[in-house]
Amino acid sequence: MEWAKCVGVIGAGECADSVYDLARKVGNEIGKKGGMLICGGLGGVMEGSARG
- Residue-wise pLDDT for 11-52, tens only, equals 999 999 999 999 999 999 999 999 999 998 899 999 999 999
Q: Is there a contact between 6 and 39 (Cβ–Cβ < 8 Å)?
A: no
Residue 1 lies inside a defined structural domain of this protein: no
Rounded-to-integer distance, Cα 29 and Cα 17, Å? 18
Domain that holds residue 44: 6-51
* pLDDT score, position 43: 94
Per the structure, how many domains does the chain have? 1
Q: How far apart are CA 13 and CA 42, in angstroms?
A: 7
The answer as to whether 19 is a domain residue is yes
Q: Is residue 23 part of a domain?
A: yes
Q: Would you state the torsion angle of the CA atoms of residues 52, 20, 39, 13, taken in this order, to the nearest 10 degrees?
A: -150
Tell me, yes or no, whether 45 lies in a domain.
yes
> What's the one-letter identity of residue 6?
C
**Whether the predicted pLDDT of 6 surpasses 80:** yes
Distance from C-alpha of 48 to C-alpha of 40, rounded to nearest angstrom:
11
